[in-house]
Amino acid sequence: MRILCTNDDGIHAPGLTIVEQIARALSDDVWVVAPELDQSGVSHSLSLNDPLRLREVGPRHFAVRGTPTDCVIMGARHILGETMPDLVLSGVNKGRNVAEDVVYSGTIAGALEGTILGLPSFALSQEFSVENRNAPQWDTALKFGPPIVRKVIDAGVPKNTVINVNFPACAPEEVAGIRVTRQGKRNLGFLKVDQRRDGRGNPYFWIGFERLVQIDVPAEGTDLAALAARYVSVTPLRLDRTDDEFSQALTATLK
């Protein structure tokens, strides 16, 4: 099985080493194509107005000065030659990708592009807590990643479906189990715009995050609830975003 690995944290991110180890637990034919620089939050952007610079970092390891989407396209359509990968693994992201994160995440986007290319694709993310922000529990992803990927592949990943896997912020022995979940929704009040001034007194802005005084209780069955209870969350995401229920209502309205 030929596996293409990518991420959005950049070619030197610790999580990329982890995803490669997960891939090597499944196959010896592993290729790594990742962004030259951190591309967190770029979503499913594609470089159309800028050239892509390709650098070989080592055997079967390449850095692309572009987005995760660019990396998957370059890997599958150019670097690997005529033999397409059988599987795309994107991650392991430092930090969870749940709820609305799936819209912004470059990690999710890398897996989405693999799905568009017709390949079984997984987005893998390791949640961290305030206490272990600088030292996430990578061992949790390493322990649970390979068997989850194997079992999902054996079950058969439907076309146009991305598998979003999030590992909880705890040691492997503290994981309560694995849950198949749906995408959750949370209070977006944690987003903030931070205004500052440069050395010349000109204003500039950062979009950032702040801790909420009160955190909403996540709905049961969601990715948020699973992580809160120390379960690995496995969420199938559809590439087709059509709202079928509202389409039916709209059809009746517009007749």
**pLDDT per residue as tens digits for the range 199-222:** 999 999 998 877 655 567 899 999
Q: Which residue has the tokens 């198949």?
A: 180
What local confidence, expressed as pLDDT, does residue 177 receive?
Answer: 98
Tell me whether residue 192 is in a domain.
no
The reply to whether 119 falls in a domain is yes
Of 97, 96, 89, which Cα lies nearest the Cα of 22? 89
Asked if 66 and 42 touch (Cβ cutoff 8 Å), the reply is no
pLDDT of residue 210: 73
The pLDDT, as a whole number, for residue 135 is 84
Alpha-carbon torsion angle 89, 90, 94, 96, nearest 10: -90
Q: Domain for residue 109, yes or no? A: yes
Rounded-to-integer distance, Cα 35 and Cα 63, Å: 5
**Into how many domains does the chain fold?**
1
Structure tokens at 239: 């590439």
CA atoms within 13 Å, Cβ hemisphere of 11: 21
For 46, list phi and psi in degrees, rounded to 5: -125, 135
**Phi, psi (degrees; rounded to nearest 5) at 246:** -70, -30
Mean pLDDT of 157-182: 97
At 212 the pLDDT is 59
For residue 211, the model assigns a pLDDT of 67
Asked whether the predicted pLDDT for residue 191 surpasses 90, the reply is no
Number of residues assigned to the chain: 255
Whether residue 140 is contained in a domain is answered as yes
- Tell me the C-alpha to C-alpha distance, in Å, between residue 198 and each of 5, 201, 206: 39, 5, 12
Q: Considering the domain boundaries, does residue 97 fall inside one?
A: yes
**pLDDT confidence of residue 215:** 65
Q: What is the pLDDT of residue 132?
A: 82
Please tell me what DSSP assigns to residue 190.
Answer: G
What are the beta bridge partners of residue 178? 232
Residue 66 has pLDDT above 60, yes or no: yes
Residue 78: count of CB within 10 angstroms of its CB: 13
CATH number of the domain bearing residue 140: 3.40.1210.10
3-state helix, strand, coil in the chain (%, to 5): 30, 25, 40
Domain of residue 172: give its range. 2-185+217-253
Report yes or no on 205 lying in a domain.
no
Residue 194 lies in a domain: no
- pLDDT score, position 82: 92
Q: What is the DSSP string of 7-63?
A: -SS-TT-HHHHHHHHHHHTT-SEEEEEEESS--TT-TT---SSSPPPEEEEETTEEE
Q: Which helix (H) or strand (E) holds 65?
A: none
Percentage of the chain with pLDDT > 90? 89
208 within domain boundaries: no
